[in-house]
Amino acid sequence: VKADWVPAGGSPVKKFDRNVPKKPAVPLRTDHPVMGIQSEKNFINTNAADVIMGVAKKPKPIYVDKRTGDKHDLEPSGLVPKYINKKDYGVTPEYICKRNEEIKKAQEEYDHYIQENLKKAAMKRVSDEEREAILQGLKKNWEEVHKEFQSLSVFIDSIPKKIRKQRLEEEMKQLEHYIGVIEKHKIIYIANNA
């Protein structure tokens, strides 16, 4: 007797038996069906009671888009306002509230930083004595530059002499501008560089 052959990943193979029927046999011509079996159920009354007691089905909402009568479902069309019936409709999402709080906090920190810098860079008023000393110093510097300008030769024939004359003229012009500004304004403020 030989053992049943087993495939690599499965169960043993069953032997084929030709005598075992697979389907029930076909009834013979002489066989008659069982007669006289009747149900006690009254199908007419049962169906009538089901219809009377049942809830009426609502028609499916549709819309017609053409004059030829093409019908389509109403719900996926976007014509039904289904989102406004949600519980959280119109409520600001939580992530936006958090982001707004972060923005507000950052703005407050920035304003605080700006206020501190403004306090550090607060303006200091120059006293009258200091203003007068600055004005006298500028006038003295202008006189020195003017004296140097007067000592230049009458004939300016070389490039270094021209450059020196232009430099002295620019210095005198700048000093005259500063003197005019200080004489014009009685009250002067200087930023504190702390």
Residue spans of the domains in the chain: they are 124-190
Bin 78: left if φ > 0, else alpha if -120 < ψ < 50, else beta. left
The letter for the amino acid at 15 is K
Q: What six digits make up the tokens of 162? A: 């021209």
Residue 7 is predicted with a pLDDT of 61
Q: Is the pLDDT of residue 1 over 60?
A: no
pLDDT in tens, 79-103: 888 888 888 898 999 999 999 999 9
Q: Which helix (H) or strand (E) holds 112?
A: helix 94-120
pLDDT at residue 190 tops 80: no
- State the amino acid at position 147 in one-letter form: K
User: Tokens 């005259």 belong to which residue?
Assistant: 176
Whether 151 has a pLDDT exceeding 90, the answer reads: no
Question: 87 or 22: whose pLDDT is higher?
Answer: 87
DSSP string, 145-182: HHHHHHTS-S---SHHHHHHHHHHHHHHHHHHHHHHHH
Q: Can you read off the two tokens belonging to residue 132? A: 């007068």
